[in-house]
């Protein structure tokens, strides 16, 4: 077959492949619209439309073109087709992995207050998704390299020394391997989850992102703290939402010994009733310490989550201080000094 005939056949095969790809897309779209729940599946169809179309086109070209005549030419179409298959199949697998995560997460409401299970599932899916995508890319790249005969021969010759090379690479990349294994451990044991409230290195914030190598913490003042993922395996930290988002808030007030504690206890109940952040569970006022000049009163209250607890503490502290200033200013902390006569030194 002449070069010109090859070109004509290639153009004809390309046109057939494009038309077939369009036909398959329209058939799938019609089926999805007919079955309902089109938002999720239409989103998936749009993602796979390009790689699926390319797969159909390359398959038609491979079937219709005489590859035996083209093998060994300046451009080896057999190798090119093999590489294209590898890239497209890896692409489709990655899309499938991401789509499965989105479909599963669609069953859980992350916006609800009691979203512990949703955050648990999301954390596992995000970490597993990234691990699987990394493996797909590595395997796909390896298969693509093996499509070249010369590289394949080198690979076979190096296979005998793969054990020694693996040991050397293991020692060289032990830090990266530790990070990779820590990602697995975080995904399944889950000392932290996405949107958990934590205190790390003295900073209070939310878990914003978990990757295979590091964790991003959104600090309350909108800064970002980047921590290696191994930190949460090797070092202690505080997780305020490990089992539930509910949290207790404390307010300390210091007053004179003569202060009527029962009156403030009643006032605390009145203040909490007016606060939308209070969940109605805990309302306690206790004398927790007695110092030389003051007594320490601790107001204990509960809230649905840590941001609400912070706002509640601020409001209650302000209200209690105002109560003492307005009703019992005479019992504000005082410094007592006893004046006496000095001994007569003239005698």
pLDDT given for residue 43 in this prediction: 72
| Local structure of 337: helix, strand or coil | coil
Which H/E stretch holds residue 259?
A: none
* Cβ atoms 39, 87 nearer than 8 A: no
- pLDDT, mean of residues 118-140: 80
Asked whether the predicted pLDDT for residue 316 surpasses 90, the reply is yes
Pick the CATH number of 125-158+167-244 from 2.30.30.60, 1.10.40.60, 3.90.1310.10, 3.40.50.9100: 2.30.30.60
Residue 164: HSE in the Cβ half-sphere, 13 Å Cα cutoff: 4
Report the mean per-residue pLDDT for the chain: 77
Separation between Cα atoms, residue 194 and residue 213, nearest integer Å:
15
Same topology, domains 125-158+167-244 and 247-331? Answer is no
Q: How far apart are CA 245 and CA 217, in angstroms?
A: 17
CB 101: neighbour CB atoms within 10 A?
18
Nearest 10 degrees: CA dihedral of 120, 124, 127, 133? -140
Q: What is the side-by-side order of every strand in the sheet holding 278-290?
A: 247-255, 295-303, 278-290
Considering the chain, what percentage of its residues have pLDDT values greater than 90?
15
What's the mean pLDDT in 270-298? 90
CATH 3.30.70.100 fits 247-331, yes or no: yes
Describe the crossing of helices 116-146 and 77-105 by its angle, rounded to 10 degrees. Answer: 180
User: How far, in Å, CA of 67 to CA of 76, rounded?
Assistant: 9
The string of pLDDT tens digits covering residues 141-161 is: 877 777 666 665 555 554 445
**Around 83, how many Cα atoms within 13 Å sit in the side-chain half-sphere?**
12
Residue spans per domain, the chain: 1-107, 125-158+167-244, 247-331
The whole-number pLDDT of residue 81 equals: 74
**Residue 320, pLDDT above cutoff 90:** yes
> Residue 259, Cα to own-chain centre: how many angstroms?
49
Q: Are 179 and 230 in contact (CB under 8 A)?
A: yes
């Amino acid at each position: 077959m002449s070069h010109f005939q090859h070109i004509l056949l290639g153009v004809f095969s390309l046109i057939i492949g494009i038309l077939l790809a369009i036909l398959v897309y329209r058939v799938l779209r019609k089926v999805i619209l007919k079955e309902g729940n089109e938002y999720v599946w239409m989103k998936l169809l749009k993602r796979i439309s390009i790689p699926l179309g390319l797969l159909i086109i390359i398959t038609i070209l491979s079937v219709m073109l005489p590859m035996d005549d083209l093998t060994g030419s300046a451009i080896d179409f057999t190798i090119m087709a093999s590489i294209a298959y590898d890239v497209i199949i890896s692409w489709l697998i990655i899309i499938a992995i991401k789509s499965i995560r989105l479909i599963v997460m669609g069953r859980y409401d992350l916006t609800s207050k009691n979203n512990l299970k949703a955050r648990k599932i999301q954390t596992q899916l995000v970490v597993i998704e990234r691990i699987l995508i990394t493996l797909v890319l590595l395997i796909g790249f390896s298969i693509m390299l093996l499509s070249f005969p010369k590289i394949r021969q080198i690979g076979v010759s190096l296979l005998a020394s793969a054990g020694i090379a693996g040991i050397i690479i293991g020692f060289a990349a032990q830090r990266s391997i530790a990070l990779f294994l820590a990602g697995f451990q975080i995904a399944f044991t889950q000392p932290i989850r996405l949107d958990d409230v934590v205190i790390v290195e003295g900073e209070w914030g939310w878990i914003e992102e978990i990757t295979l190598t590091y964790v991003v913490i959104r600090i309350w003042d909108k800064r970002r703290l980047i921590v290696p993922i191994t930190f949460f395996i090797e070092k202690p930290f505080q997780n305020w939402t490990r089992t539930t988002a509910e949290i207790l808030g404390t307010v300390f007030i210091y007053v004179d010994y003569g202060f009527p504690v029962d009156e403030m206890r009643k006032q605390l109940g009145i203040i909490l009733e007016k606060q939308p952040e209070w969940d109605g569970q805990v309302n306690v006022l206790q004398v927790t310490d007695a110092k030389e000049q003051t007594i320490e009163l601790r107001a204990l209250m509960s809230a649905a989550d840590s941001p609400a607890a912070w706002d509640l503490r601020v409001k209650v502290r302000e209200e209690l201080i105002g109560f003492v200033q307005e009703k019992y200013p005479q019992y504000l902390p005082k410094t007592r000094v006893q004046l006496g006569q000095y001994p007569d030194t003239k005698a």
